[in-house]
Chain A
Amino acid sequence: MSNYYNSSRKLHFSQLALEPVVRNLEHDFENSGADSLRSMEEALTWYDMLLNNAGKIAGDFIAPRAEAVDERGCSFENGKVSWAPETKENMDMLAQSGYMGAMLERRFGGLSMPVSVNNIIVEMISQADASLMNLYGLQDIAVTLQKFGSEEQKQRILPKFAKGEVSGAMALTEPDAGSDLQAVSLKAVEKDGKWYLDGVKRFITNGSGDVLLVLARSEAGTTSGRGLSMFLCEKSPAIVVRRIENKLGIHGSPTCELQFNMAPAELVGKRKFGLIKYVMSLMNGARLAVSAQALGIAQAAFEEAVEYANEREQFGKRIVEIPAIYQMLKSMQAEIETSRALLYRTGLAVDMMEVYERKAEAGEKVKSELKSATALADFLTPLSKFTISELANRAAYDSLQIHGGVGYMKDFKVERLLRDARITNIYEGTTQLQVVAAIGFLVKGLFEKEMEEVRTMELPDLQKEQALTVSLLDKTLSAIASVHEMENLEFHDYAATYLVEMASILYRLKLYLPIAEQNPDKRGILKFFLMEADARITDLDTRISHLKKQYGNDISVLKDDFLK
């Protein structure tokens, strides 16, 4: 019997200032029906039950099936895609337990759950079986439809999602449009007032699903993102699965190549807003989910490593006692703990953005609030994915290293974790693209504004730590300024990876300082992380100034050796 809703998750969840989110979702607690929440206290009680229940489903039901899911994978016969039987059992159990419409409104049979709560569920499911997140997380399709679809589309489709009767897919990527979605070329043709889709999509997770959201070129002759619209396309003989991919990891989720042969479709929202509005929203949701997936994998890798290091004896002692081993464990622990603070804070930022979106929709004057909430969500989402997907890879790598030779064998869970982790810093935007998405907020000052409070926080027991954090912040801010003032785009892009990493470390320090102040048992982790942070930020800062001295405006010579 294991419950993945552990004390660390509880603690980090308890840090979130959720009240404005819950008030908004629950209509200011004014409804009194049996299915309405009437106070913040009731909401927290119910969320706690939801999380505990999901933690048990993950630990007791999903985790024991993960090995079989990985081994069997999905199959493709006669044009039909099938999940592993255990994946089907998992999905049925999640549907029966009512989680498939987590973030849909209750009028559609959903739970009206905050993103912040669902985020933790995604993390726990991923700890049990990362590949299942790719199917559970496709709820984002329904959420996107809830945001942008017509009332008729919502009434028709969303209740089926909430019951788990249908699964979805988001069909964006094409053979020549991966990271660069502006290049999408699948055609949307309008005939007699109806839309039809024609072309090929590739790498579509669960492309065999019943409800597809498809990005397609509705404006013939255009080449930019502004010629793209979003379409709702239900499964039909006009959509053919050509093949499924044979992947390194996440074997439980089928990755399909789809051929659309004038498949009937419906426009979602407004024409030409497909990429610039709807896909951006969908993509941010997916990036958050991948961050949660990555943290789940990291947690699993860490737990496996701790357990093995305690069991395995070499040189007459448990290997956990060997400095070279606990060095890796300590680093994993500190990274996971501080990254959890970042992940949950990002979930809250997305929640707050949605609060203001709904308020704006309802005609409230919240333009400036919406703008700043959106900016924060748009900053923290790529910052989280950048940080946590890389962490998942490192944690899985080190965990396998701690296992030694047996870790390389299929008999141990860690080799699956390593394979599953590898996709997280690639899909939904590579790490390099997350840097591009985040760096603007460093240059434009949002990061600085967000970090200001670290100077004034009341931390009586951690004054030294606070002072060090402030000095690291000053170092980082001057590094950002020194890169910016060069006005050299290529150098700026080169240094961006370093700057975003510095920002990630500092943002996590800002979130973790008050946690450590309130919880003395977390101070050891804070102090270790801060020591590492000091070394790393100093290193990155030095690197930037050396680069500037040595190459400066000539940074582009570094590519010369590779040009053919």
Chain B
Amino acid sequence: MKKIVVLAKQVPDTANVTGDAMKPDGTVNRAALPAIFNPEDLNALEMGLSIGRKLGFEVHVVTMGPPKAVEILKHALYMGADHVRLISDRRFAAADTLATSYVLSEAVKKLGEVQLVLAGRQAIDGDTAQVGPQVAEKIDFNQITYVTQLKEVAADHIVVERDGETRSETIRTGFPVLLTVTAAANTPRFPNAARMLRFFRAGLESDFSKEELETAEPAGWVIPVWTLDSMGLDPARCGLNGSPTKVHKIKSITLKGTDLQLFEGNKAGIQELVQNIVKDYVEVER
């Protein structure tokens, strides 16, 4: 069966940041923040579900993360995803976008028969917007980033609008293709009541006792997990080992508003504006 894969991420709810959101070493203190479904990944899933229903494609959701990330997979099931899968291994930890896109691209390949990959434009914890494009490169799909609207769905093509910064672009594309989706694209559906009933008991195999598994397996409550070994991945390209990005230091910078300043609308004025911004807000460490 033809498949749509939605790449999802569980992220700390950065809209509800409290005092201890950062650890002293400059990494995110995930324990201090509620974990949520990355908002734009919900838009990607919504688009996946609506295309999937129209074309009869199966909708798969995969996430790479710790066992706790199963929560967003359950949410995806409540919304209507046909299959969900957790990609989890201690050796995936501390992955940057390069290592993450390697693992996710291998998952897409392993699933097979994938026509469409959808991802949120960016995650609210890293804000890089790089994972989607890197996956597209690795699986050799065309990519359309910053999708703001799904305009047409047909058996052999879709038409989308993307935000091209200075203007919007309308693009018609065949399959396979990868899209990264923005919040403007749609309103994600809410969980479905009957699907919540069917799946609220879902979890990882380790969450069930042996006896419980006898009911849980046929009911579809056991969420499958792929690991580094089960996917046959190269450990050197995963997690910290596969991540050339190194965070040197993170500082908390508070921006303070000052008086309104007006600049001339000519080249000299703009130059002055840019210099002021650099002087006030850009910190360069040497």
Q: Does A157 contact B (CB under 8 A)?
A: no
Q: Which of B187, B189, B196, B219 contacts A34 (CB 8 A)?
A: B219
Q: Does A49 contact B (CB under 8 A)?
A: yes
For B260, list chain A residues within 8 Å (CB). Answer: none
Q: Are B219 and A98 in contact (CB under 8 A)?
A: no
For A35, list chain B residues within 8 Å (CB). Answer: 194, 197-198
Q: Mark A66-103, 1 if CB is under 8 A from B, else 0.
A: 00000000000000000000000000010011110010
Q: Which of B189, B192, B196 contacts A46 (CB 8 A)?
A: B196
Beta-carbon contacts under 8 Å, B219-252 to A: 219-221
For B219, list chain A residues within 8 Å (CB). Answer: 33-34
Q: Does A63 contact B (CB under 8 A)?
A: no
Q: Which of B189, B193, B200, B221 contacts A99 (CB 8 A)?
A: B193
Q: Does B85 contact A (CB under 8 A)?
A: no
Q: Are B197 and A97 in contact (CB under 8 A)?
A: no
Q: Does A262 contact B (CB under 8 A)?
A: no
Q: Are A111 and B189 in contact (CB under 8 A)?
A: no
For A519, list chain B residues within 8 Å (CB). Answer: none
Report the separation of the CA atoms of residues A56 and B192 in the bound assembly, to the nearest whole angstrom.
13
Interface residues on A, range: 20 to 34
For A46, list chain B residues within 8 Å (CB). Answer: 196-197, 200
Q: Which of B194, B200, B201 contacts A111 (CB 8 A)?
A: B194
Report the separation of the CA atoms of residues A62 and B196 in the bound assembly, to the nearest whole angstrom.
21
Q: Does A539 contact B (CB under 8 A)?
A: no
B165 CB to nearest chain A CB (Å):
28
What is the number of residues of chain B that contact chain A, defined by CB distance less than 8 Å? 18
Q: A34-B219, A61-B187 are in contact. Are A98 and B194 (CB under 8 A)?
A: yes
Q: Mark B170-205, 1 if CB is under 8 A from A, else 0.
A: 000000000000000001011111111110110000
For B200, list chain A residues within 8 Å (CB). Answer: 42, 45-46, 49
Which residue in chain B gives the minimum CB-CB distance to A96?
Answer: B189
Q: A32-B215, A34-B219, A34-B220 are in contact. Are A53 and B198 (CB under 8 A)?
A: no
Q: Are A50 and B196 in contact (CB under 8 A)?
A: yes
Which residue in chain B gives the minimum CB-CB distance to A110?
Answer: B194
Q: Are A53 and B193 in contact (CB under 8 A)?
A: yes
Q: Mark A296-311, 1 if CB is under 8 A from B, else 0.
A: 0000000000000000
Q: Are A42 and B201 in contact (CB under 8 A)?
A: yes
Q: Does A170 contact B (CB under 8 A)?
A: no
Q: Does A214 contact B (CB under 8 A)?
A: no
For B220, list chain A residues within 8 Å (CB). Answer: 34
For A21, list chain B residues within 8 Å (CB). Answer: none
Report the separation of the CA atoms of residues A32 and B228 in the bound assembly, to the nearest whole angstrom.
36
Report the separation of the CA atoms of residues A50 and B196 in the bound assembly, to the nearest whole angstrom.
8
Q: Are A111 and B193 in contact (CB under 8 A)?
A: yes
Q: Mark A430-473, 1 if CB is under 8 A from B, else 0.
A: 00000000000000000000000000000000000000000000
B52 CB to nearest chain A CB (Å):
14
Beta-carbon contacts under 8 Å, A14-42 to B: 32-35, 37, 42
5 A-B pairs with the lowest CB-CB distances in the bound complex, closest first:
A98-B193, A34-B219, A98-B192, A97-B190, A98-B194
Residue positions of A touching B, CB distance < 8 A: 32-35, 37, 42, 45-46, 49-50, 53, 56-57, 61, 93, 96-99, 102, 109, 111
Q: 19 A-B Cβ contacts within 8 A?
A: A34-B198, A34-B221, A35-B194, A35-B197, A35-B198, A42-B200, A45-B200, A46-B200, A49-B191, A50-B196, A53-B191, A56-B190, A96-B189, A96-B192, A97-B192, A97-B193, A98-B193, A102-B193, A111-B197
Residue positions of B touching A, CB distance < 8 A: 187, 189-198, 200-201, 215, 218-221
